[in-house]
Structure 1
């Protein structure tokens, strides 16, 4: 099977060991398209640190041997070629996308495809995933567009977890794909005001396209000061604001941002962390306590976030083609990763291993 192997900071295209047998409850998928995720970029920058943090946090889904090659990629879409025992919801030939999880039959431990030396990711010709995480792609939705449901649904999930109501306002910090997903979700759920903060002009344009009411270049304006100016007479620092609160959706992963937010967010506000960094951060805990600021790293209920996002894509309420800024074949993966390390011109680059992505 042809795939892009990653080892010691280098990408090479070639043959890789065959996938395990398709186990009970699993499906094998011929890959049509796969997005390059921010987590994939983190692995490419420092795979050892990525695994170190995963293992220290007791998170087996992203632990692999960094001295052996891996095939990255989990934002997939493709066509089912084989069904494991007990799979009755799908048929060979179905067009599908979904969450890239596979459970090792020998250990019973799930893994994210791509962050495994055994279960290759979708920067290759085929993957095996647990069928319970797979969804049928509507006939009128292109497969490469369907790959966006995975990163965009993170925004929907966190907006639900944050408890946003129609009285609240959303501040989305960082407008990569996950941030754009938060803009879409906050707007769809009736946020009173959606402010997007993003230094890249192209991404600011996309935030406006996705529904943000106000878009700010943080190198020129402090977005929290922009919000404060809009609601200067609407609340008090002592009691809960009468007209809802401000919820910050941190999607940049920038070092130091959490400490800045705890000092600058209004009293009684919330911070929802979507894109957490891999380096140690320092905050002064008493500051958010003084200001009664809640910080949430992903706790709380949510429902059907992926399915909701897939339906939005199929309905055309999300302009998928605008988010996809480039497509590459397997031979273009290394250059795509290099480009995304300075993402002024790109948002989502799609890898196409060869199967038609229409």
Structure 2
């Protein structure tokens, strides 16, 4: 099948080895569309570092042989072409999207498609995934729009894990697709105030469109200072207290080096930091500072429920403007240039790869 191979920092279009047989509990999908994820950008920047961190962290889902080619892409949508044994919830021809996980039949170890030398990602004509992670796409939702459920649901998942209530306020730092998902989720769950910070003018516009109450350009304003000014204007009292009237939760979606240390020094007492987009470089913080300030830092721990399904329903209902988030579409031949463009994302948010099947 045709796909975009990645090896040694280069993308090439051509024939790749066929996928494994569709195993029990799996489905084969003809890919209609796939979004380029921030993790894909991290691989393209330094695949060895990506795998090194995954292996050091005991995370086999994203470990592969960097000396062999991979086909990236896991934000997929498409049409089922084959069912593995035991799959009864779907039929051939169903329009689907979902989480891109496939369990290797030989080892029993799951892998994220695209971060595997065997289970190709969706920058190609077909994928195989475990059916338990697949969802039917509603009839009135375009398949290329459905690909957004995967990155946007990360925001919903982390907002749930953060324990945000209607008494709390949210700071969303970085308004790529995951950050926009956090804005949507915080607003949907009734946050008192949602303030977003983003240097890209286009992404700031989208944050407003997704419901942010205030949007800040961090090159001109300090996000915490904006919040402190709001508190002072509201005569809300001291930032040192029991937080009985709600707290401030920062959703770190930028992955910027040094941001975690800055937040631990600047966030109000009794606040929280929820890390959605973590970097791959080592960070230095002074642990006693968040301890002094009673700041909780969460990298993704805690319960959540139906985050992907909730997001897919929001897309189908039109409460998320999917077309505004998708800023370009490319075929397989345009993948290399798309990655180059996204490394300086002033004009883009989400670029969708379409291997050839209609995305309607």
Task: Please confirm whether the aligned pair reaches a TM-score higher than 0.5, indicating the same fold.
Answer: yes
The list of structure 1 runs, each at least 4 consecutive aligned residues, that deviate by more than 4 angstroms after superposition, is none
Conservation of the 8 A alpha-carbon contact between 1:22 and 1:83: yes
TM-score after normalising by structure 2: 0.99
The CA deviation at 1:239 is 1.7
CA distance in 2 between counterparts of 1:291 and 1:211 reads 30
Q: Residue 27 of structure 2 aligns to a residue in which SS?
A: strand
Deviation string 1:78-129 (CA, Å, 9 cap, x unpaired) is 0000000000000000000000000000000000000000000000000000
1:279: how far off? 0.2
**Is contact 1:235–1:241 with CA below 8 Å preserved after alignment?**
no
Asked if structure 2 preserves the Cα contact closer than 8 Å seen for 1:164 and 1:247, the reply is: yes
Aligned to 2:358: 356
CA distance in structure 1 between the partners assigned to 2:259 and 2:240 by the alignment:
25
Query: What is the SS of the residue equivalent to 1:53?
Result: helix
- Alpha-carbon offset, residue 198 of structure 1: 0.2
Paired residues of 1:197 and 1:215 also in contact (CA < 8 A): yes
Paired residues of 1:234 and 1:241 also in contact (CA < 8 A): no
How far apart are residue 236 of structure 1 and its match? 2.6
> 1:175·1:207 contact (CA, 8 Å) conserved in 2?
yes
Alignment partner, residue 271 of structure 2: 269
Pairwise CA distance, 1:11: 0.0
CA shift for structure 1 position 189: 0.1
- Offset, 1:240: 1.8
TM-score under structure 1 length normalisation = 0.99
For the Cα contact (< 8 Å) 2:248–2:268, is it kept in 1? Answer: yes
Mapped partners of 1:321, 1:312: distance in 2 = 13
Task: Output the aligned Cα RMSD.
Answer: 0.6
SS at match of 1:13: strand
**C-alpha distance in structure 2 between counterparts of 1:234 and 1:102, whole Å:** 50
- Per the alignment, residue 179 of structure 1 pairs with 179
Query: Post-superposition shift, 1:241?
Result: 2.6
CA contact 1:234–1:242 (8 Å) conserved in 2: no
Of 234, 242, 247, the match for 1:245: 247
| Residues in 2 aligned to 1:235 and 1:261: alpha-carbon distance in whole angstroms | 21
* 3-state DSSP of counterpart to 2:70: coil
Shift of 1:210: 0.1
Deviations along 1:312-334, whole A, 9 cap, x unmatched? 00000000000000000000000
Equivalent residue, structure 1, for 2:285 = 283
Stretch of structure 1 that moved more, 26-35 or 229-238? 229-238
Give deviations 1:210-260, integer Å, cap 9, x for gaps: 000000001101111111111162143432234211100000000000000
Counterpart secondary structure, 2:158: helix
Q: Distance in 1 between matches of 2:238 and 2:245?
A: 11
> Which residue of structure 2 lines up, in the alignment, with residue 93 of structure 1?
93
- Checking the alignment, whether the CA contact within 8 Å between 2:8 and 2:67 is kept in structure 1 is yes
C-alpha distance in structure 2 between counterparts of 1:96 and 1:235, whole Å: 50
- Which residues of structure 2 form unaligned runs of 5+? none
The superposition leaves residues 128-153 of structure 1 with CA deviations (integer Å, 9 ceiling, x where unpaired) of 00000000000000000000000000
User: Match of 1:179, SS?
Assistant: helix
In structure 2, how many angstroms separate the alpha carbons of the residues matched to 1:252 and 1:233? 31
**Any idea what SS the aligned residue of 2:356 has?**
coil
Is the CA contact 2:240–2:268 (under 8 Å) kept in the aligned structure 1?
A: no
Rounded Cα–Cα distance in structure 2 between residues aligned with 1:38 and 1:239: 37
Q: Is the 8 A contact 2:27 2:131 kept in 1?
A: yes
Helix, strand or coil: the match of 2:204?
A: helix
CA distance in 2, matches of 1:353, 1:237: 52
Distance 1:163 1:58 in 2: 27
Q: Is the 8 A contact 2:167 2:191 kept in 1?
A: yes
Deviations 1:27-82 (A, max 9, x none): 00000000000000000000000000000000000000000000000000000000
Cα separation, 1, equivalents of 2:246 and 2:219 = 27
